[in-house]
Chain A
């Protein structure tokens, strides 16, 4: 069941662009949105769904704009939210930024897009590359009236025919984010690896691609297990694919085969729930002397192989919001105080494996305690380790077959970075 209308509202809740798809809700009804939102926020039970008088508002907030869908029915709300996020993505690809100015500057195109992306409340074509083929920002300058690209209705709705490159290349980025939650007493409560494989495809024609990974399930089914196999395999807990990947085929024999979209896209994501040794381990000693000062001793230790190096490491240490006069002492990197975030940030450009560094910080506290109660934000760590995946996932091959028979080169990069990397403090 579908959405009734879509609205783009500015910060004050004023309608900037709206599209009424079904005519079953008075378009003026949107005026109730912001007051309702404020009311719920005040009551402390704000949710992404607001409902009044039988109408539900589903909204996402982006750059202080609201993108709101309304419905009177038992709509498939997951689809509506997915669509709203998708719409933001399309607008951003069209206008670089999705904010008040770009909307005012492009309201005609936005109307056109809203007309094309949704019909009678049902999402239609939302692939920005395909949309760009027949909805252009310089519409009035085009002499030839555009026709709907084949791709709109093709089984391959994400790639147009007739793409040509002089040099056929594919770039694969395997990016793993490590999510970790460490308790006050230093136990790892949760660890998880979320990986994505991003592609940048510069290939002519309609190429067929097949990607081979060291997937444990695949290895087991083909008998390449145990000692017989030299390559280590990885057990992917949950895999999600771009719509170009043939899911039934994957389900059958774990083959990842697809006709890729042109340019940049995310081919797949995966998740592993294994216990990960925290790549960068943080120990903190915090001594609070209320009314006078607070002292921090932070120890950072890299727990990966010596031949790897973590780059751009940032250790973000929360400090009280009324702290002042920061003093830092460290042998490596530098520390700066970021009062707007109530944090001290310790940056280490290059952090080799198997090392340990210490930083000491000292802040003064006012003698009058602030009445405002503060939360206990965790210490966060940001980092990037190139040429390395925590899970051990590997691209074994990427086969590219196109009827013209050209040779194309795949390039693969691996990188591990932080995800939600939280260490609780007291």
Chain B
């Protein structure tokens, strides 16, 4: 007999008819009626009017009917909360039914009825069910606690259900344990304070239950264990040993959750130990096998493999072939496989990869083909040995004349030029043949960039560019900007016959466009060209840094966080959970654990007497400093996922505009201020495409002033021409006002006020000495006690002597840094002895930490990333910084004036992130992540250093600098 007939009543007065049937005397008829009601509900008709009548059918001994009525209740109780109360009695009674199936059904359904009044009545039956003799009821009750907590957390806590749930963790039945784990895990994640305190005993219990529960229960347990951080290496290894057999489970969810636990715990173990090496080997086969699963699972697996390959490239390095695309793979699987192929590409397998990519590039699916072409370009950039073959492959593809292939190829060839300049320019003529087929902005802009960049070698460059100029007004902004820059480059290279052209494009840009970015850029070029063509040449035709493939990797903290979320949505989206879920559930961010050696491995605490030694490895290479800074920033405005080489979105125009008007101009003109503004030019995404994308020629325009002049001084006095025009106030270093260090009472008439500053790359103590005594003072001298930073006077104290009564004198005492260090408490404490003819006076003062920040504190991005990873996350601390500043550039400038350097900026999930580096005189590096809150007046500062003791001082420095 089929149920389909229940859907077919379409007579008039249906509800009325059902009502009378529901109240029929005959059991059979009532049951039929309820089925009809559920059928109507299923197709979306509103049958809530029948609520009381359906409830009347609830008291039945027919299980099927009962289930249907319960189902009805779940759907409609919310709309009829008052009537829903009527059901309570039956629920309570059913919770006492001799049949466990009915007891469980009742408690399960009650938890699904999200009506406050009912919730109150839920407590008693639930308590009973948690202690039921039948495990089926207990496992249902365990989940019901999570339901109750979701509706009313305080009630659940006050009634002691959380403790009851914890007791179930020791239940004899594995299914009950598994559900209790799931419920506790969920509660723990939503609760404002931790509910379960995982410990060794509990984890052991869970791991024992792991062997016995269902596949789903295993997932709950593994996900829970993944949140536990073992106390030491030995424990971590023990857990790994007990979890790794799960890799052989047929259920993909069990496998990936096991991978998650192992990936996390491996972080705690020495990476070169035999155990870790063996474990890494074990991980590859199950991951590969997931690629034979259903396509949806394959997709999830591939997104996760993408993370794993970035985190631990060695695991899958020999598995390239399994990622070869099959003809019938769904497109989403194909695209993900391609991405992983590129990540795995190495000199050893590049020939195979290229042969495959070439094959793919002749397929028919446009998206796939495009990605394959792009992949060839990425290979060229990644594996230098292959560049030549990649270029010739791309040329072959251009010969196919398939329009989108040609355009994609031109975009990637531009990137290859930027990576290997002056190597493959011979192919430019081939590219130029395809000029008129280009209709996509990306391809056009790339082609124009190429022509501009190599204008001196292309005989008819002026004609080519002129041909683009005809439709200038109709072009995409990206193309317009590029054309502007391209023609200016051409003019600077071949001024004689291109003056007219440059005039034309400047006029078009400045007078006929209503795009402010384009106009501004036009004006700047115009002024630049008319002010000093030599400087213009230096700026516009400056040597560009090379690009690298690093940019399409995830940012390391994000990668670490995502590795803690393997198998979940976050791992598929490659976004932290905070980015896509709202509210309280998202508060806790996960990160990988750090190594904790179990035996005599030495404590990780800071030994202040040798702060310098630990830092030896992290010295940035000055030569590459600015280049790296600039090259690392392409992808940043469009988020961490985008890659420059992939032709990602250009940086937003507004940013570019701001930069242009911001401090960057100082460097363009000033030169002297290079340290300051050269960096911010790069830091704020100016490279944006070194002349291709939205940021376009900005970098060409302004970017490199800093590297060439490299003057030491800060911003003062660099009010060049344009600086005036745009009214930029120079940013100066922050200083703390003088404070009284010694009052005349203690100093026998001598009052000392002082402060610290940084002058000429030296820490300087500024003193005001006032004679409050009745006689003159002379023979001043000063000594500093051993201190945390090894500060000693660089010269004798030079003051007016004798100092007459009631007179003041100013003194500057430059301080040297020596290795003679003694840790003080507080760390910044400095004990001073000041001598004069009257006696020796002792006093103490605090050194503001920022004066200890040195000028070469800009860390190269690569080093920054490596160091950030290298430093244990235990050393990471978060602080709130209060300031009214919300603009990243302003903050960056301000910090930079105080030797806190912006390594890079990112925008993730709608917030600006700044990565900063600071180097202290004693050689300690501090890596900072500053998270800007757009609205609030506070930002979050995360500090990472090997020496956590200094954090307080650093935070004070930030606070001071940003408030000043």
A-to-B contact residues, CB < 8 Å: 1-2, 15-18, 20-23, 44-49, 51, 54, 56, 58, 60, 71-79, 81-85, 101, 104-108, 111-112, 115, 119-120, 122-126, 134, 139-140, 145-148, 152-155, 157, 181, 183-184, 189-190, 192, 194, 237-243, 246-248, 250-251, 266, 268-269, 271, 273, 373-378, 420, 422, 424
From residue B732, how far is it (CB to closest CB) to chain A in Å?
A: 45
Is the pair B216, A54 in contact by a Cβ cutoff of 8 Å?
no
Q: Which residues of A contact B175 (CB under 8 A)?
A: 152-154, 157
From residue A407, how far is it (CB to closest CB) to chain B in Å?
A: 30
Is the pair A23, B114 in contact by a Cβ cutoff of 8 Å?
yes
Is the pair A46, B331 in contact by a Cβ cutoff of 8 Å?
yes
Q: Which residues of B contact A60 (CB under 8 A)?
A: 294, 296
Most chain B CB within a 10 A radius of its CB, from A17, A72, A238: A238
Is the pair B332, A46 in contact by a Cβ cutoff of 8 Å?
yes
In the complex formed, the residue of A with least CB distance to B189 is A1
Is the pair A48, B99 in contact by a Cβ cutoff of 8 Å?
no
Is the pair B295, A112 in contact by a Cβ cutoff of 8 Å?
no
Is the pair B332, A73 in contact by a Cβ cutoff of 8 Å?
no
Is the pair A119, B367 in contact by a Cβ cutoff of 8 Å?
no
Most chain A CB within a 10 A radius of its CB, from B61, B255, B285: B285
Is the pair B250, A243 in contact by a Cβ cutoff of 8 Å?
yes
From residue B816, how far is it (CB to closest CB) to chain A in Å?
A: 53
Q: Which residues of B contact A73 (CB under 8 A)?
A: 569, 577, 581, 585
Which residues between 61 and 78 of chain B lie within 8 Å of chain A, taking CB atoms?
61-64, 67-68, 71, 74-75, 78
Chain B 88-105, CB-CB to A under 8 Å as 1, else 0, gives: 000000000001111011
Is the pair A82, B252 in contact by a Cβ cutoff of 8 Å?
yes
In the complex formed, the residue of B with least CB distance to A375 is B364
A376 vs B38: C-alpha distance when bound (angstroms): 51
Given that A20-B74, A44-B366, A76-B567 are contacting pairs, would A115 and B252 also be in contact in the complex, using a CB cutoff of 8 Å? no
Known: A76-B219, A155-B212. 17 other contacts (CB 8 A): A17-B42, A21-B112, A23-B114, A46-B332, A51-B573, A75-B568, A78-B567, A79-B567, A101-B4, A104-B3, A115-B108, A125-B214, A145-B101, A190-B321, A240-B255, A243-B215, A420-B328
Q: Is B211 an interface residue (CB 8 A)?
A: yes
A180 vs B412: C-alpha distance when bound (angstroms): 32
Q: Is B671 an interface residue (CB 8 A)?
A: no
From residue A277, how far is it (CB to closest CB) to chain B in Å?
A: 17
Q: Which of B131-139, B191-199, B680-688 contacts A (4 or more CB under 8 A)?
A: B131-139
Q: Which residues of B contact A377 (CB under 8 A)?
A: 327
A182 vs B861: C-alpha distance when bound (angstroms): 43
How many chain B residues touch the partner (CB < 8 A)? 116
Is the pair B42, A77 in contact by a Cβ cutoff of 8 Å?
no
Which 8 A-B pairs rank lowest in CB-CB distance, beginning with the nearest? A238-B285, A105-B2, A251-B245, A74-B577, A79-B253, A153-B135, A247-B245, A48-B296
Is the pair A181, B3 in contact by a Cβ cutoff of 8 Å?
no
Q: Which of B355-363, B386-394, B657-665 contacts A (4 or more CB under 8 A)?
A: B355-363
A36 vs B817: C-alpha distance when bound (angstroms): 64
Is the pair B569, A247 in contact by a Cβ cutoff of 8 Å?
no
Given that A104-B4, A122-B143, A240-B250 are contacting pairs, would A76 and B223 also be in contact in the complex, using a CB cutoff of 8 Å? yes
Q: Which residues of A contact B352 (CB under 8 A)?
A: 189
Q: Which residues of B contact A125 (CB under 8 A)?
A: 214
- Identify which of B7, B67, B186 contacts A1 (C-beta below 8 A): B186
Q: Which residues of A contact B894 (CB under 8 A)?
A: none
Is the pair B64, A140 in contact by a Cβ cutoff of 8 Å?
yes
Is the pair B3, A120 in contact by a Cβ cutoff of 8 Å?
no
Given that A85-B294, A122-B182, A243-B249 are contacting pairs, would A115 and B67 also be in contact in the complex, using a CB cutoff of 8 Å? yes
Given that A47-B332, A108-B68, A119-B143 are contacting pairs, would A422 and B327 also be in contact in the complex, using a CB cutoff of 8 Å? yes
From residue B93, how far is it (CB to closest CB) to chain A in Å?
A: 15
In the complex formed, the residue of A with least CB distance to B287 is A238
In the complex formed, the residue of A with least CB distance to B32 is A140
Is the pair A23, B112 in contact by a Cβ cutoff of 8 Å?
yes
Is the pair B31, A140 in contact by a Cβ cutoff of 8 Å?
yes
From residue B224, how far is it (CB to closest CB) to chain A in Å?
A: 11
Which residues between 276 and 320 of chain B lie within 8 Å of chain A, taking CB atoms?
285-286, 288-289, 292, 294-297, 299-301
Q: Which residues of B contact A75 (CB under 8 A)?
A: 568-569
Q: Which residues of A contact B300 (CB under 8 A)?
A: 48, 77-78, 81
Is the pair B242, A81 in contact by a Cβ cutoff of 8 Å?
no
Given that A74-B570, A78-B300 are contacting pairs, would A145 and B99 also be in contact in the complex, using a CB cutoff of 8 Å? yes
Q: Which residues of B contact A241 (CB under 8 A)?
A: 248-250
13 A-B Cβ contacts within 8 A?
A60-B296, A73-B585, A74-B577, A107-B42, A108-B35, A119-B143, A120-B146, A122-B143, A122-B182, A124-B139, A145-B99, A273-B288, A378-B327
A271 vs B291: C-alpha distance when bound (angstroms): 11
Is the pair B173, A148 in contact by a Cβ cutoff of 8 Å?
no
Q: Which residues of B contact A269 (CB under 8 A)?
A: 250, 289
Is the pair B134, A148 in contact by a Cβ cutoff of 8 Å?
yes
A241 vs B75: C-alpha distance when bound (angstroms): 39
Is the pair A2, B139 in contact by a Cβ cutoff of 8 Å?
no
User: How many A-B Cβ pairs are below 8 Å?
Assistant: 270
A373 vs B404: C-alpha distance when bound (angstroms): 13
In the complex formed, the residue of B with least CB distance to A426 is B362
Q: Which residues of B contact A246 (CB under 8 A)?
A: 211
- Identify which of A85, A111, A239, A251 contacts B67 (C-beta below 8 A): A111
A140 vs B66: C-alpha distance when bound (angstroms): 11
Is the pair A124, B216 in contact by a Cβ cutoff of 8 Å?
yes
From residue B471, how far is it (CB to closest CB) to chain A in Å?
A: 27
Is the pair B295, A250 in contact by a Cβ cutoff of 8 Å?
no
Which residues between 1 and 44 of chain B lie within 8 Å of chain A, taking CB atoms?
2-4, 6-7, 31, 35, 38-39, 42-44
Is the pair B569, A74 in contact by a Cβ cutoff of 8 Å?
yes
Chain B 698-733, CB-CB to A under 8 Å as 1, else 0, gives: 000000000000000000000000000000000000
In the complex formed, the residue of B with least CB distance to A424 is B359
From residue A110, how far is it (CB to closest CB) to chain B in Å?
A: 9
Is the pair B63, A181 in contact by a Cβ cutoff of 8 Å?
no
Is the pair A243, B63 in contact by a Cβ cutoff of 8 Å?
no
Is the pair A1, B327 in contact by a Cβ cutoff of 8 Å?
no
Is the pair A190, B322 in contact by a Cβ cutoff of 8 Å?
yes
A280 vs B419: C-alpha distance when bound (angstroms): 46
Is the pair B150, A140 in contact by a Cβ cutoff of 8 Å?
no
Most chain A CB within a 10 A radius of its CB, from B4, B182, B300: B300
Is the pair A123, B39 in contact by a Cβ cutoff of 8 Å?
no
Is the pair B295, A145 in contact by a Cβ cutoff of 8 Å?
no
From residue A53, how far is it (CB to closest CB) to chain B in Å?
A: 10
Is the pair A78, B363 in contact by a Cβ cutoff of 8 Å?
no
A105 vs B5: C-alpha distance when bound (angstroms): 8
Q: Which residues of A contact B580 (CB under 8 A)?
A: 51, 54, 56, 74
Is the pair B101, A238 in contact by a Cβ cutoff of 8 Å?
no
Is the pair B363, A375 in contact by a Cβ cutoff of 8 Å?
yes
Q: Which residues of B contact A105 (CB under 8 A)?
A: 2-4
Q: Which residues of B contact A120 (CB under 8 A)?
A: 111-112, 143-144, 146-147
A195 vs B301: C-alpha distance when bound (angstroms): 21
Which residues between 476 and 530 of chain B lie within 8 Å of chain A, taking CB atoms?
none
Q: Which residues of B contact A78 (CB under 8 A)?
A: 252-253, 256-257, 297, 300-301, 567-568
From residue A243, how far is it (CB to closest CB) to chain B in Å?
A: 5
Q: Is B176 an interface residue (CB 8 A)?
A: yes
Given that A111-B68, A147-B100, A148-B136 are contacting pairs, would A76 and B568 also be in contact in the complex, using a CB cutoff of 8 Å? yes
Given that A76-B257, A375-B363 are contacting pairs, would A1 and B71 also be in contact in the complex, using a CB cutoff of 8 Å? no
A60 vs B299: C-alpha distance when bound (angstroms): 12
Given that A111-B68, A145-B63, A189-B324 are contacting pairs, would A77 and B248 also be in contact in the complex, using a CB cutoff of 8 Å? no
- Identify which of A72, A238, A373 contacts B364 (C-beta below 8 A): A373
A240 vs B580: C-alpha distance when bound (angstroms): 34
A152 vs B280: C-alpha distance when bound (angstroms): 36
A56 vs B74: C-alpha distance when bound (angstroms): 23
Q: Is B220 an interface residue (CB 8 A)?
A: yes
From residue B226, how far is it (CB to closest CB) to chain A in Å?
A: 10
From residue B345, how far is it (CB to closest CB) to chain A in Å?
A: 16
In the complex formed, the residue of B with least CB distance to A16 is B42
Q: Is B945 an interface residue (CB 8 A)?
A: no
A248 vs B212: C-alpha distance when bound (angstroms): 11
